Amino acid sequence: MTGNPFSLSGKHVLVTGAGTGIGRGIALEAARQGADVVLHYASSAPGAQSAVEEIHAMGRRAAALPGDLTQVTECRRIVDSAAEFLGGLDGVVNNAGITNVVNFLDVTEEHYNFIYDLNIRGQFFLTQQAVRHILQRGDELKRQRDGQPWAGGTIINISSVHGLVGYPGHSVYAGTKGAINAFSRQLAIELCPLHIRVNVIAPGTIEVPNYFTLYPGYNREAGNRLVPWGRVGLPEDVGHLAVYLLSDASEFMTGQVLYFDGGLTAKMALDS
């Protein structure tokens, strides 16, 4: 490991679900720290394209790729296209996912299948394809550096506090997030011999644009009151943690689920 281990200079990163919210915040922060970035999006083309323009203004390379990650063929295409554009992959942030609050007795088979197909199945197969490219990138870097140790590749899976604690209407969503946590710990062990680390960021209350449409009457002050730390989280906050996990500074960290929630999961569910 040479130079500043916290820098992402020279890194090639794919972020899924990056047209809005947390994914967009991560992509922008990765670019600020020196990475070239491909932003995947499903339906948020304007947000993805504007982020690409911001990244170009930073002097970094970026591209936006649409795709339906409920389809395995699309997962593979997005990864292959990102690797081709960037010239390889050093890290992937699996952020794409959907929250849909439904009472347990009202959950349909179609609703269940869609949430699981995107939130965990898509993440699984996209990661599988990405690992192949990360290994190729590692071989290339070792050749370029004349045998110097490779700090390794990085997979970051985005989960949620709902994978740990319960809340009404989240039976399907929480199940996918618990699956992400377990899958990631298992994958971290499988990939240790390949020198690819796998970690999970499990955000709490992070203010994203759909808060203002999904929750009538939501405002910043209301969000602040939900969090023990005293303020709602923002996408750029998650971006700071993701950048650390993408950097060589996190080379010794793998298999961890990091609850990023301003103290939310540490608080007893008792009225004070």
The type of residue at 32 is R
Helix (H) or strand (E) run with residue 130 in it: helix 123-144
Query: Residues of 58-86 as b/e, b for ≥16 C-beta within 10 angstroms?
Result: eebbbbbbebbbbebebbbebbebbbebb
Three-class SS of residue 18?
coil
Degrees, nearest 5: CA angle 11-13-16: 170
Q: Which of 230, 226, 225, 234 is nearest to 207 (CA)?
A: 234
Question: Among residues 116, 167, 173, 215, which one is catalytic?
Answer: 173
* Sheet arrangement for strand 257-260: 62-66, 36-41, 12-15, 91-94, 153-158, 196-203, 257-260
- Look up 173 and say whether it is catalytic: yes
Three-class SS of residue 59?
coil
Q: Which amino acids are annotated catalytic?
A: 173
